[in-house]
Structure 1
Amino acid sequence: MGRIPSASRETVPSDQTSEFDQLLASAGSIPQVGPGSILWHVPKAQQLATALNQYLRNDSSLSDKILELAMLVTARENDCMYVWNAHAASARAAGVPDAVVDALRDRTGNAHHGS
């Protein structure tokens, strides 16, 4: 299967061009790869996804450690190497133990860590 072409102002639904323009003004450019690039085809959905991401990162009660662990668990469960590679180092930096990251990566279930 080929790659999905990047979104453009001409390819988004005509009733969402203003949302597309807002996204572009905020982001500066259209992502060419990764999960985020797909939602640009439906700018309203991308705006909602961005708002959810910002809420989880900035306003929720979840710590960076828990957020990054959730990213890794989800990425590994779905074999999404793009997300895994984007978050493995961040998870370690946020305090997820190396043994946990390695066990998730290797699917060993041998993550021995403290509380």
Structure 2
Amino acid sequence: MTDRLRPIPEAEWTAAQREAAQEIVNGPRGGLYGPFVPLLRSPELMGYAQRLGEYLRYRSAIGVRLSELAILVTAREWDQQVEWAIHAPIAQQVGITADVIGAIARRHRPAAMLVDESVVYDFCLELHRDKRVSDRVYNDALALFGEQGVVDLMGVNGYYTFLAMVMNTAQTEAPASSADPLPE
């Protein structure tokens, strides 16, 4: 599989691309990598995506630990190696256990999750697989996170689905990672 939208040499960037790239480099990500390499071809879209992602990843109402869990479920559902390579180590750093990460990678329901993790896992899985969320799972999420948290959880799933679609289409190469690649 060949990366279809490889990095554009910086000397070839337009002014709009340079500005959009600099915003990402100056932000919490600190570099232009992953989905932002193909997105650089549309600097305005990239800028909006970056700002949405910055909120959802770093400041959402469900917190970083649960956002990372939702990202992993999304990466697994979309067979997205780049998202997995980047976020599996981060998820472990913020408190998602290796057993939970491994079970998600194998498409198994993790056996030992905290209550909030179980609610996020069920919500994400239903949303991806069923294209909706059952009343029971919705009400569990609402009770734990409130309406803003439920909306932010939907947002994390939608945003990382968008990125997965971009990178799967671009065939973006996964970076070196301490995480094992997703199994076929």
Q: TM-score range, shorter-chain basis?
A: 0.7 to 0.9
Aligned residues: 110
- Which ranges in structure 1 are unaligned for 5 or more consecutive residues? none
Mapped to 1, the partners of 2:40 and 2:34 lie a distance apart of 11
- Which ranges in structure 2 are unaligned for 5 or more consecutive residues? 116-184
Correspondence 1:25 to 2:52: no
Structure of greater relative contact order (alpha carbons < 8 Å, 6+ residues apart) = 2
Q: Percent identity?
A: 28
Cα distance change of structure 1 residues 45 and 110 upon mapping to structure 2, 3 Å threshold: same
> Deviation of residue 78 (structure 1)?
0.9
Conserved 8 A contact 1:100-1:111: yes
CA RMSD of aligned residues (A): 2.7
Give the structure 2 partner of residue 105 of structure 1.
Answer: 105
> Deviation of residue 57 (structure 1)?
2.9
Give the structure 2 partner of residue 75 of structure 1.
Answer: 75
Mapped to 1, the partners of 2:93 and 2:35 lie a distance apart of 23
Give the structure 1 partner of residue 57 of structure 2.
Answer: 57
Conserved 8 A contact 1:69-1:96: yes
> Deviation of residue 50 (structure 1)?
0.7
> Deviation of residue 8 (structure 1)?
5.6
Match of 1:88, SS state, is helix
Give the structure 2 partner of residue 66 of structure 1.
Answer: 66
Higher helix proportion, which one? 2
The one-letter amino acid paired with 1:7 is I
Mapped to 2, the partners of 1:49 and 1:64 lie a distance apart of 18
Mapped to 2, the partners of 1:92 and 1:21 lie a distance apart of 33
> Deviation of residue 75 (structure 1)?
0.7
Q: Give the TM-score normalised by the residue count of structure 2.
A: 0.50
Give the structure 1 partner of residue 8 of structure 2.
Answer: 7
Mapped to 2, the partners of 1:9 and 1:91 lie a distance apart of 31
Structure 1, residues 4-47: CA drift from partner, whole Å, max 9, x if none?
Answer: 243367977xxxx443121233328x84x632211000000100
Mapped to 1, the partners of 2:45 and 2:70 lie a distance apart of 22
Give the structure 2 partner of residue 84 of structure 1.
Answer: 84
Mapped to 2, the partners of 1:70 and 1:25 lie a distance apart of 28
Mapped to 2, the partners of 1:20 and 1:58 lie a distance apart of 24
Cα distance change of structure 1 residues 36 and 114 upon mapping to structure 2, 3 Å threshold: same
Mapped to 2, the partners of 1:70 and 1:41 lie a distance apart of 27
